[in-house]
Amino acid sequence: VEGESLLMGINDIAVSSGSACTSATLEPSYVLKALGVGEDLAHTSIRFGLGRFNTQEEVDYVIDKMVQVVTKLRELSPLYEMAKEGIDISKMKWQTA
């Protein structure tokens, strides 16, 4: 699931994609890239911030909401169905019209 797509589905939760220093761009986290995470997978990352005043109920809400939104986005994605069937979509040759 693309991180940016996920962000649109959880507009009531303070979360971002990418690193804090590149939050104005769509570039994936340079830390993830430095760790060897591929570009496609790095684009799926999101960043949460927790503080000492966050409650267990707030954390549980975020977890439940994330599961709902990821499930919905996966249902909309033909690529997810292909991945479930064991097709390595990173090796596919896509044609453009």
Q: What is the CATH number of the domain that holds 75?
A: 3.90.1150.10
Question: Taking the C-alpha atoms of 64, 69, 71 and 77 in order, what is their torsion angle to the nearest 10 degrees?
Answer: -170
21: annotated active-site residue: yes
Whether 83 is covered by a domain: the verdict is yes
Whether 43 is covered by a domain: the verdict is yes
Whether 96 is covered by a domain: the verdict is no
Q: Name the E strands within the chain.
A: 15-16, 47-48
**pTM for the full predicted model:** 0.67
Domain total in the chain: 1
pLDDT of 69-88, one tens digit each?
999 988 888 777 888 888 88
CB-neighbour burial class of residue 29 (10 A; exposed 0-12, middle 13-18, buried 19+)? buried
Longest Cα–Cα distance of the chain, Å, equals 52
Whether 97 is covered by a domain: the verdict is no
Whether 69 is covered by a domain: the verdict is yes
Structure tokens at 17: 């994609």
Q: Indicate which residue of 14, 20, 21, 50 is catalytic.
A: 21
* Domain range for 34: 3-90
- At residue 42, the pLDDT reads 81
pLDDT of 14-73, one tens digit each?
887 766 555 566 677 788 888 998 887 887 888 888 999 999 999 999 999 999 999 998
